[in-house]
Amino acid sequence: MTPAYAQAFALKTKTGSFLANKDVTGRGNVIVLGSQTAEDLFGGFDPAGRKVKLNPTGKAGGAVPMTVIGVLEEQGQSALMGNPDNGAFVPISTAQVRLFAGRDALGQLMVSTVTVVAGEGQSSAVMGQIQQLLRRRHDIEAGEDDDFNVVSQDDLLSLVGNVTGLFTAFLGVIAVISLVVGGIGIMNIMLVSVTERTREIGIRKAVGARTSDILLQFLFEAIVLSVIGGLMGMGTGIGVSWLITKSGFVTAKVTPFAIVLALTSALTVGVISGVYPARRAAALKPIDALRYE
- Cα–Cα distances (Å) from 215 to 77, 194, 226, 286, in that order, read 52, 11, 17, 14
Looking at the predicted structure, is the pLDDT value of residue 8 above 70?
yes
Residue pLDDT, tens place only, 184-216: 888 888 888 888 888 888 888 888 888 888 888
Return d(Cα 229, Cα 182) in angstroms, integer.
9
Cβ-proximal residues to 125 (8 Å cutoff; 6+ apart), any chain: 118
Return d(Cα 134, Cα 140) in angstroms, integer.
9
Half-sphere exposure of 275 (CA within 13 A, CB side): 5
The model carries a pTM of: 0.54
Output the pLDDT for position 79: 55
Query: How far is the first Cα of the chain from the last one, in angstroms, to the nearest whole number?
Result: 82
Binned at pLDDT 50, 70 and 90, residue 61 comes out as low
* Mean pLDDT over each residue of the chain, to the nearest integer: 85
Binned at pLDDT 50, 70 and 90, residue 268 comes out as confident
Looking at the predicted structure, is the pLDDT value of residue 89 above 90?
yes
Output the pLDDT for position 80: 60
Q: What is the DSSP letter of 109?
A: B
Residue pLDDT, tens place only, 11-30: 899 999 999 999 999 989 99
- Cα–Cα distances (Å) from 231 to 67, 178, 263, 266, in that order, read 52, 15, 7, 9
Average pLDDT over residues 92-108: 80
Distance, C-alpha 31 to centroid of its chain: 29
Binned at pLDDT 50, 70 and 90, residue 78 comes out as low
Tell me if 191 sits within 8 A of 277, measured CB to CB: yes
Name the residue ranges covered by the structural domains of the chain: 4-115, 119-150, 154-291
Return d(Cα 18, Cα 33) in angstroms, integer.
9
Average pLDDT over residues 94-107: 79
Distance, C-alpha 15 to centroid of its chain: 29
Cβ-proximal residues to 210 (8 Å cutoff; 6+ apart), any chain: none
Residue pLDDT, tens place only, 133-191: 989 888 888 888 888 888 887 777 788 788 888 988 998 899 889 888 888 888 888 88
